[in-house]
């Protein structure tokens, strides 16, 4: 009985997503609408959209599965996810919005006046986006299989088709509305069943979960992995700095009308994410109480299994359908944002130029963006069909580590250090990319030697990020001749509040507050 209800819930989520995308399409007219929603998104709506985009399957399903197997040590995952926005708020949110750039490669070119660096950043945006998209599609297939028995490729195909339709048709205008609604849908889908499960657990007087000392206490010698203390701090660093460097997160701040709105958006995001992350650990803890089976490895299906196991009957079926719909919304919203960022990089640095040569300049920017979006979503879809399934949390963790060692230093030093040179940035980003991508490749495709080697390759942010920053500083000091000629003007633009540069007439006309 739960399978038809769960499938119906997933179909309802898909239909709602397409309907909201169609509404957004009515307002998408020019290039600015497709890239940054016309820069008119209010802080509260943008915060909801960021929350909808950021809460991926790794958050909705993965955190509960990790807490179920690893215990208290895994709680630094939601902490790290949320603290990342605090770092973003304090260091780069408002200056980034004032830059006026559309994408991260735009910012790199604006700040350091280097086309070579811009192309390198575009390549990284595409690589990180595809690494993040791949587990979203594979996870959608597994989730649909879990509730309906359908082959895994069906779920990946559904996500790909819906994301392609929304992004190609309406760009950022469409997906902003979709993601804002999906945040509240996901919050409802995880909150309501969690409250019901907790009520039943308390009402029945069921004993607390059983677990070893390492499950109850953080950072003990027998915790998850061989070196849990290092892994914990390396992952927190990756999540904090990686959030700042993820291209699909940063691009969201370009949709605010000004820097003040960008800061207000970030504060609202902190509130929304903090409230959501209260609930995934509930499923992990109660999974230990009610579910049988092995607990040594992460069990992402614990969120989907618990309602039927604890509640049972039609009530359990309804709650299972609710969390299944929420999980699928997580796949759709995150995949939409990633496809937007990948499409933006492909369009501006590859496809628009190639299409212009093929058509003799007749192709419009919107047409090249739509072609880029199709390429951006179809490439990881093809990979998801031929590659072995990768663990959601593992692939996403490596995407955060790559972003932390590349874009995070570029953004922080680009906003706050006058001495940054194009040569220094290029050298540091190259070192960060080579080390973290190499570690991800070895970890995902092969089994590294046990001990410190496996630990360092599994969580590379703690050593790769300082190494990249050191290289940036060292090469910048050695190459003062490559300082961008207009750096003072650019930095003044990043740090001058909009109100200070408005004309007296504009200020007089501005609404109070």
pLDDT of residue 511 exceeding 50: no
pLDDT of residue 282: 93
What integer pLDDT is reported at residue 396 of this predicted model?
78
- And the tokens for 27? 């307002």
Is residue 398 predicted with pLDDT exceeding 70?
A: yes
User: pLDDT band at 498, cuts 50/70/90?
Assistant: low
For residues 54 and 266, give the distance between their C-alpha atoms in angstroms, rounded to a whole number. Answer: 13
Question: pLDDT confidence of 256, banded at 50, 70, 90?
Answer: confident
> What is the per-residue pLDDT for 190?
94
Asked if residues 243 and 19 have their Cβ atoms less than 8 Å apart, the reply is: no
pTM (predicted TM-score): 0.82
Cβ count near 328 (within 10 Å): 33
pLDDT attached to residue 224? 53
Q: Is residue 251 part of a domain?
A: yes
Looking at the predicted structure, is the pLDDT value of residue 509 above 80? no
Measure the CA–CA gap between 479 and 473, rounded to whole angstroms: 10
- Torsion sign over Cα 109, 111, 116, 117: negative
Domain that holds residue 383: 2-389
Q: Is the dihedral of CA 164, 170, 175, 181 positive or negative?
A: negative
In a domain, 454, yes or no: no
Q: Is a pLDDT exceeding 70 seen at residue 446?
A: no
For residues 121 and 407, what is the distance between their CA atoms, to the nearest angstrom? 8
Q: Is the pLDDT of residue 412 over 90?
A: yes
Counting residues of the chain whose pLDDT is more than 90, the rounded percentage is 24
**Higher pLDDT among residues 79 and 447, named by residue:** 79
Higher pLDDT, 513 or 404: 404
* C-alpha dihedral (49, 52, 58, 62), degrees to nearest 10: 150
- Mean pLDDT along residues 88-100: 79
Q: Between 369 and 300, whose confidence is greater?
A: 369
Both tokens assigned to 408 = 């995070």
**Per-residue b or e along 144-157, where b marks 16 or more CB atoms closer than 10 Å to that residue's CB:** bebbbeeebbebbb
Distance CA 330, CA 280 (A): 13
pLDDT digits (tens, 9 = 90+) for 287-304: 989 988 777 776 777 888
% pLDDT > 70, the chain: 90
Please tell me the predicted confidence (pLDDT) of residue 5: 87
State how far Cα 461 lies from the chain centre.
17
When mean pLDDT is compared over 196-205, 437-446, 497-506, the highest value belongs to 196-205
Decide which of 195 and 444 is more confident: 195
- Number of structural domains found in the chain: 1
Average pLDDT, integer, range 382-392: 73
Task: Report the pLDDT value the prediction gives residue 81, as an integer from 0 to 100.
Answer: 76
pLDDT at residue 510, as a whole number: 43
- Residue 300 · residue 284 · CB < 8 Å: no
Q: Is residue 406 part of a domain?
A: no
**How many residues make up the chain in this entry?**
513
Q: CA-to-CA distance for 98 and 90, rounded, in angstroms?
A: 15
Spatial separation of the C-alpha atoms in residues 127 and 103, rounded to whole Å: 15
Max mean pLDDT among 50-59, 84-93, 260-269, 421-430 falls in 421-430
| Domain presence at residue 489 | no
pLDDT digits (tens, 9 = 90+) for 180-194: 888 999 999 999 999
Q: Are 369 and 103 in contact (CB under 8 A)?
A: no
Residue 470 in any domain: the answer is no
The set of residues, in sequence order, having a beta carbon less than 8 Å from that of 292 and lying 6+ positions away, is none
**Which is more confidently placed, 167 or 156?**
156
DSSP-derived letter for residue 297 is S
Asked if residue 503 has pLDDT above 60, the reply is: no
- Of the two residues 372 and 510, the one the predictor is more confident about is 372
pLDDT at 200 over 70: yes
Q: Residue 315 belongs to a domain with what CATH number?
A: 1.20.1730.10
Residues 6+ apart with CB under 8 A from 471: 424, 427, 428, 431
Average pLDDT value over all residues in the chain = 83
Q: What is the pLDDT of residue 449?
A: 65
The verdict on residue 323 lying in a domain is yes
CA nearest to 20, candidates 166, 158, 156: 166
User: Is the Cβ–Cβ distance between 121 and 429 less than 8 Å?
Assistant: yes
With respect to residue 7, please indicate whether it lies within any of the assigned structural domains.
Answer: yes
Task: Indicate if the pLDDT at residue 405 is higher than 80.
Answer: yes
CA distance 162 to 17: 8
Q: pLDDT tens, 19-49?
A: 887 776 666 666 666 666 667 778 888 888 8
Does the pLDDT at position 507 exceed 70?
no
Tokens of 272: 């929304």
SS3 string, 140-185, reads HHHHHHHHHCCCHHHHHHHHHHHHHHHHHHHHHHHHHHHHHHHHHH
Helix/strand/coil for 210: coil
Query: Does the structure show a pLDDT above 80 at 11?
Result: yes
493 domain residue, yes or no: no
218-232, 260-274, 295-309: least confident range:
218-232
pLDDT, one tens digit per residue, over 310-349 is 998 888 889 999 998 988 888 888 888 888 888 888 888 8
């Amino acid at each position: 009985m739960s399978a038809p209800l769960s499938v119906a819930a997933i179909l309802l989520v898909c239909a709602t997503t397409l309907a909201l995308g169609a509404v957004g399409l009515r307002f998408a007219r020019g290039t600015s609408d497709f890239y940054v929603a016309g820069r008119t998104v209010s802080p509260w709506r943008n915060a909801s959209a960021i929350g909808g985009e950021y809460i991926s399957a790794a958050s909705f399903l993965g955190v509960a599965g990790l807490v179920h197997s690893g215990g208290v040590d895994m709680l630094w995952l939601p902490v790290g996810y949320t603290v990342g926005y605090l770092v973003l708020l304090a260091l780069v949110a408002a200056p980034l919005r004032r830059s006026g750039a559309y994408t991260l490669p735009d910012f790199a070119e604006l700040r350091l006046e280097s086309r070579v660096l811009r192309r390198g950043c575009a390549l990284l945006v595409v690589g990180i986006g595809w690494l993040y998209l791949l587990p979203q599609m594979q996870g959608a297939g597994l989730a649909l299989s879990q509730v309906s028995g359908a082959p895994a490729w069906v779920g990946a195909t559904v996500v790909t088709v819906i994301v392609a339709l929304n992004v190609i048709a309406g760009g950022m205008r469409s997906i902003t509305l979709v993601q804002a609604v999906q945040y509240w849908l996901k919050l409802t889908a995880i909150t309501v069943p969690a409250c019901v499960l907790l009520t039943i657990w308390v009402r029945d007087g069921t004993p607390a979960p059983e677990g070893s000392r390492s499950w109850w206490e953080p950072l003990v010698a027998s915790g998850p992995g061989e070196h849990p203390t290092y892994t914990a701090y390396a992952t927190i660093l990756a999540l904090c700095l990686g959030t700042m460097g993820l291209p699909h997160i940063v691009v969201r701040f370009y949709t605010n009308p000004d820097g003040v709105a960008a800061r207000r958006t970030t504060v609202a995001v902190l509130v929304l994410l903090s409230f959501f992350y209260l609930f995934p650990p509930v499923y992990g803890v109660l999974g230990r109480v009610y579910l049988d089976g092995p607990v040594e490895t992460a069990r992402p299906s614990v969120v989907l299994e618990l309602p039927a196991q604890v509640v049972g009957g039609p009530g359990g079926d309804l709650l299972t359908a609710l969390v299944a719909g929420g999980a699928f919304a997580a796949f759709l919203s995150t995949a939409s944002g990633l496809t937007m960022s990948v499409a933006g990089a492909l369009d501006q640095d590859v496809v628009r130029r190639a299409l212009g040569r093929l058509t003799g300049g007749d192709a419009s920017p919107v047409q090249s963006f739509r072609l880029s979006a199709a390429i951006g979503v179809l490439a990881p879809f093809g990979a998801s069909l031929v590659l072995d399934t990768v663990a959601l949390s593992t692939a996403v963790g490596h995407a955060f580590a790559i972003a932390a060692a590349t874009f995070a230093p570029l953004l922080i030093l680009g906003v706050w250090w006058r001495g940054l040179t194009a040569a220094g940035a290029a050298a540091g980003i190259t070192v960060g990319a080579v080390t973290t991508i190499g570690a991800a490749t070895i970890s995902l495709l092969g089994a590294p030697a046990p001990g410190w080697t496996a630990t360092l390759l599994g969580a590379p942010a703690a050593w790769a990020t300082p190494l990249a920053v050191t290289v940036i500083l060292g090469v910048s000091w050695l190459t003062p001749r490559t300082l961008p000629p207009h750096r003072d003007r650019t930095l003044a633009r990043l740090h001058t509040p909009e109100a200070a540069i408005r004309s007296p007439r504009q200020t007089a006309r501005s609404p109070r507050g």
